[in-house]
Amino acid sequence: MLTIALILHSASNDNMGVGALSASEVTILRRIAKSRNISINIKIIQGFAKRPPYVTGEDVEIRPTRPLRKPLDFFSAIGDSDMVIDIGGGDSFADIYGRRRLTQMFLMKYLTHLARKPLVLAPQTFGPFKHRLSTFLARQTIRLSAITATRDSMSTTCLRDMGIKGDIIEASDVALRLPYDLPPARGKGGAVRVGINVSGLLMSGGYTRNNMFGLQMDYPQLMRDILQRFADHPDPCEVHLVPHVISWQRGALEDDYAASVRLSEEFPFVTVAPAFTSPSEAKSYIAGMDFFMGARMHACIAAFSSGVPVVPMAYSRKFAGLFGALGYNETVDCTTQSADDILTRIFDAYGRRAELAQAQKTAFETGLEKLGHYEKALGDLMERLAKRS
């Protein structure tokens, strides 16, 4: 039995994007184990959570811990594992989210090295690292890792610029593998279903509440302008506000659901999607849209990987890095473009939905091919470790 610990994943995060990474990683591990006849046990090491886990199964164990408060407890949690997979929350292995989060990430990585467990850096965004110490520590832990996989060319370039000379697998986002239910068949005609993800984080101005990400426009006003444009559009539109961070804590800064409800009070013609209980449930809902846009990257990946034409609304370089690496170039950049430019791009894309769908199909196939390189390397490592155990 091969025991695989997942760190900086989560089986019960309010952010369905982090959950999508975790559910997809488990799906990939199960596919590899089945194809290579390896028995596995998956241990998800995460913080304490009130939300029930949505990544479950006989082969899954949830192990709560607080690494910063009790590092020895984390060390004990990985002690009986054969390997550790770290996905960095998708994009948190960087300076941009603050010192506390990065300190925890370094602590967990270095304790894994200390325990002499092979560390797999699963496909994620690396950087930017702006400070000398964080750059040094990142470079050292990457050099000690068994597998390093990026999900975009920008991250690969970042690592090379840091001096990483070893093998780097440029893959894609594991959430391309997230399972979902196909939407019911619909007849031709009828209103166009438009899905819009409203980011509660950006509506609040970021964690600092002071335009933390340096947006070039008033994001709340941009969302109101988009809704008004669809309200006035000559095509009959059925607009759905689709949250992808759904907090169990009232008044949470990041809560997309609460932000969507507040907007629906101003625009009563919209439909607010349910408070999803799992990433796959969210993706199944998004799959029923005819057009989608949003500032939560994994809400956009859910659309992209289920065949829905999508305009990602970037607040960091991870968006353009991921979608651009696949040849899908419909991302708008809220940090460099004006509100007028973004509105023009969105409604131009809306009019080219059929063209976007074809580009999306080709890009998705490219993404799965790139992801396959990570899956092969991961499978080879699992096979070698299984033979030893």
Domain map (residue ranges) of the chain = 2-177+369-388, 192-365
Distances in Å between the alpha carbon of 295 and those of 30, 75, 76, 121, 292? 30, 36, 38, 25, 11
Residues in the chain: 389
- In DSSP terms, 281 is beta-bridged to none
Q: What is the CATH number of domain 2-177+369-388?
A: 3.40.50.2000
Strand intervals (E) in the chain: 2-7, 40-46, 60-64, 83-86, 119-124, 147-150, 169-170, 192-197, 237-241, 271-272, 291-294, 310-314, 332-333
pLDDT of residue 382: 98
What is the helix (H) or strand (E) element at residue 341, kind and residue range? Answer: helix 339-351
Q: Which CATH architecture has domain 192-365?
A: 3-Layer(aba) Sandwich (3.40)
- For 163, residues 6+ apart whose C-beta sits below 8 A from its C-beta are 139
pLDDT of residue 354: 95
Residue 246 — φ and ψ, nearest 5°? -130, 105
Distances in Å between the alpha carbon of 352 and those of 73, 309, 359? 53, 9, 11
pLDDT of residue 97: 76
Q: Which of 29, 220, 206, 235 is nearest to 122 (CA)?
A: 29
Could you list the pLDDT tens digit for every one of the 389 residues in the chain? 999 999 999 999 999 999 999 999 999 999 999 999 999 999 999 999 889 999 999 999 999 999 999 999 999 999 999 999 999 999 889 887 778 889 999 999 999 999 999 999 999 999 889 889 999 999 999 999 999 999 999 899 999 999 999 999 999 999 999 999 999 888 777 899 999 999 999 998 888 788 878 899 999 999 999 999 999 999 999 999 999 999 977 767 889 999 999 999 999 999 999 999 999 999 999 999 999 999 999 999 999 999 999 999 998 878 888 999 899 999 999 999 999 999 999 999 999 999 999 999 999 999 999 999 999 999 999 999 998 87
Same fold yes or no, 2-177+369-388 and 192-365:
yes
Q: Which residue has the tokens 């996989």?
A: 149
Radius of gyration of the chain (CA): 21
The model's pTM is 0.94
- For 307, residues 6+ apart whose C-beta sits below 8 A from its C-beta are 287, 357, 360, 361, 364
Q: Please state, as a whole number, how many other Cβ atoms lie within 10 Å of the Cβ of residue 193.
A: 18
